[in-house]
Structure 1
Amino acid sequence: MKIANGVEMLEINSNIMGMDSVINPTLIWDKDTIMLVDAGYPGQLSKIREEIEKTGIEFNKLNKVLLTHQDIDHIGSLSSILESLPNEVKVFAHIEEKAYINGEKVPVKLAELETKLKNGAEELKMIYEKLKTGFENCKVNIDKTLTDGEELQCCGGIIVIFTPGHTPGHISLYLKESKTLIAGDLLMVKSGKLVAFPDSINFDNNLNEKSLKKLLKYDIETVICYHGGIYKGKVNERIERILRE
Structure 2
Amino acid sequence: MLEVTVRVGANQMVIHPSVIRDEQAYVLVDTGMPDCHGPITKLLTEAGFDSLAPYSIIVTHQDVDHIGGLPEFQGEGVDVYAHTDDQPYIDGLKPLIKFSGEMKTRLLTSLPQNLAAAFESAFSGKVKNVTRLLEDGEKLPFGGGLTVIHTPGHTPGHICLYHEPSKTLIAGDAMVVENGKLQGPRSTATPDMKTALASLRKLQAYPIDTVICYHGGLFQGDVHAVIEQLTESL
Using the size of structure 1 for normalisation, the TM-score is: 0.85
- Which residue of structure 2 aligns with residue 24 of structure 1? 16
Whether 2:101 is the aligned partner of 1:130: answer no
Contact residue 42 and residue 138 of structure 1 kept, 8 A: no
What is the deviation of 1:154?
2.5
Whether 2:186 is the aligned partner of 1:198: answer yes
| Structure-2 change in CA distance of 1:18 and 1:62 (3 Å) | farther
Q: Identify unmatched segments of 5+ residues in structure 2.
A: 110-115
- Measured against aligned partners, the alpha-carbon deviations of 1:184-229 in whole angstroms (never above 9, x if no partner) come to 0000000100001222311211210221111111110000000000
Match of 1:229 in 2: 217
Aligned partner of 2:63 among 47, 71, 95: 71
Output the CA distance in 2 between the equivalents of 1:224 and 1:53: 21
Secondary structure at 1:160 match in 2: strand
Aligned 8 A contact 1:75 1:138 in 2: no
**Contact map agreement 2:24 2:54 (CA 8 A) in 1:** no
Moved over 6 A (4+): none
The CA deviation string for residues 44-78 of structure 1, in whole angstroms up to 9 with x for no partner, is 11101001112101122142000000111001111
TM-score normalized by structure 2? 0.88
Gaps of at least 5 residues in structure 1 are 1-8, 115-124
Aligned residue number for residue 103 of structure 1? 92
Task: Give the distance between the partners of 1:156 and 1:228, measured in 2 at CA.
Answer: 25
1:49 to 41, 44, 48: 41
Contact 1:95 1:147 (C-alpha < 8 Å) held by counterparts: yes
RMSD (Å), alpha carbons:
1.8
Aligned length: 221
SS in 2 for 1:155: helix
Matching residue within 2, 11, 16 for 1:10? 2
Whether the 8 Å contact between 1:41 and 1:74 is mirrored in structure 2 is yes
Q: Deviations over 1:107-155 (max 9, x none)?
A: 1012xx46xxxxxxxxxx4x35235786634435211100000000221
Q: Report SS of the residue matched to 1:239.
A: helix
Q: Which letter does structure 2 place at the counterpart of 1:45? A: H
Match of residue 112 from structure 2: none
Percent of paired sites with the same residue: 40
Contact 2:185 2:196 in 1 (8 A): no
